[in-house]
Amino acid sequence: MACGLRNGPVLSEETTTPELTTDEVRHIAALTRLGLSDDEVEMMRGQLSSILRVFESLQQVDTEGVEPTGHTTEVRTVLRDDAPRESLGRDGILKNAPDSEAGYVRVRPILG
């Protein structure tokens, strides 16, 4: 079994994913608003093609009977229990506000 991209075993030496073209990389760069030089386009072409090959190898893994999961470990919260308690009064809140007026927090206008 060969290894690819230092990420682990590649299940098959045969790949059906073609190498990305420079035009495809330029299109992706335009969609993501990235300005790439010719050297960067070529570097990204190789890197993105490698990533696609890794995904192709993952498609070969037999997942029959494997339950889908969102986490690989048990999910537990480390936060305290939520318990009601007295909230701050208006004066306490306004004391922390950078500016207030007539009992309200004053903010800069954002429209107009």
- Would you list the domain boundaries of the chain? 2-59
Tokens standing for residue 35: 């300005």
Distance CA(9)–CA(29), nearest Å, equals 30
Other C-beta atoms lying within 10 Å of the C-beta of residue 16: 8
Contact call for residues 19 and 47 (beta carbons, < 8 A): no
Tokens standing for residue 61: 């893994």
The tens-digit pLDDT sequence of the chain (112 residues) is 444 444 455 545 566 778 899 999 999 999 999 999 999 999 999 999 999 999 988 888 898 998 888 888 888 878 888 899 999 899 999 998 999 999 999 998 888 6
